[in-house]
Amino acid sequence: MARCVIFLADGLRPDAIRPDTSPSLYALAEDYTQAATAVTVRPSTTVAALLSLATGVGPATHRLGEPGLAALRQFARLHPLPGHLAARHLATVVVAGDVGPAEVPVARALALAAGISRFVATAGPARRVAAAAAGRLRFVPDGLVVVYVNDCDRAGHAAGWMSRAYLDAVAEADAAVGQLRAAAADSLLVVLADHGGGGVAPRDHDAPHPVNDAIPLVLAGPRVRRRSVLKRPVSLLDVPPTVLWWLGLEVPAEYEGAVLHDAFVAAAATRAVA
């Protein structure tokens, strides 16, 4: 069995991962491998980052900055991650929390264009989204499950990044991580964010700034190094190649990131397909 679970917490800042506000994620990061300095793409927006995760290339290459149907045509010249899995009969299931009703049709269309097997739009706080995702895991014994929660981003825009309300949302996302970890102990679990926030404007994250660029990146599960820190700079773009490699698939030459080999014990290299 080889399953990867990506938990994407929209707007989660790495410095919000502390024993008091996010004990589950803090413990997971300490126990397995965490990046000391991980960054997202620029612009540090959700759409740019999610599409970079889906396609393995940065915004300058995918040029999918605008959400909507225009993006559908762009997928034809890209090599989205889910399409690679589908070619090897591996499913990609996305469980998304609080996608606005107006955005659901577009999100579904984009998901299909990218080769995603199933797009589950759910609602409510992160724990509810995680519960929905946990319930799906048994249907995806092999493949990729992406869980998207936006509690932190929403609180950041409403009350400011690192505000009390924001840290409450971090705690909510953290509880969801704990739930998923328990449900998917046999999976590679990758926890990250699409961007930080509060770098220029206290309630925004789009402007170029190190605090907006910085994201948490934690890997846990089978063959992941224990109590390890990646001290070199890593990028959100390193996640798609790492997922493909871990699942035993080839990494397309066009992908702009690199496999995070140093996050795994050496035996994992035998999984790579020549």
Binding residues vs Zn ion (CB under 5 A): 153
In the complex, least distance from residue 6 CB atom to Zn ion, rounded to whole angstroms: 19
User: In degrees to the nearest 10, what's the CA dihedral of 14, 167, 220, 5?
Assistant: -110
Hey, what amino acid is at 140?
Answer: V
Q: Which is nearer to Zn ion, 10 or 256 (CB)?
A: 10
If the CB atoms of residues 150 and 235 are measured against Zn ion, the closer one turns out to be: 150
Burial class (CB in 10 A: 0-12, 13-18, 19+), 184: buried
For the bound state, the minimum distance from the C-beta of residue 204 to Zn ion, rounded and expressed in Å, comes to: 7
For residue 206, the minimal CB distance to Zn ion (Å) is 8
Cα–Cα distance measured from residue 61 to residue 261, given in angstroms and rounded to the nearest whole number: 24
153 or 256: whose CB is closer to Zn ion? Answer: 153
Q: Tell me the C-alpha to C-alpha distance, in Å, between residue 104 and each of 10, 96, 101, 127.
A: 17, 10, 5, 20
Q: Which is nearer to Zn ion, 72 or 201 (CB)?
A: 201
Q: How far is the CB of 11 from Zn ion (least distance, A)?
A: 6
Contact 56, 241 (CB under 8 A): yes
CB of residue 150 to Zn ion, shortest distance in Å: 8
Nearer to Zn ion, 98 or 153 (CB): 153
d(CA 31, CA 33): 7
Nearer to Zn ion, 153 or 172 (CB): 153
- Residue 9: both structure tokens together: 């917490």
CB of 172 to Zn ion, least distance (A): 16
Which residue number is nearest to Zn ion in terms of Cβ? 153
User: And the tokens for 223?
Assistant: 């063959």
Q: Phi first, then psi: give them for residue 44, nearest 5 degrees.
A: -85, 65
Closer to Zn ion at the Cβ: 151 or 153?
A: 153
* Distances from the Cα of 10 to the Cα of 19, 143, 147, 161, 243, angstroms: 20, 22, 10, 12, 19
Please give the Cα distance from 203 to 213 (Å, whole number): 15
Provide the minimum distance between the beta carbon of 107 and Zn ion in the complex, in angstroms, as a whole number: 16
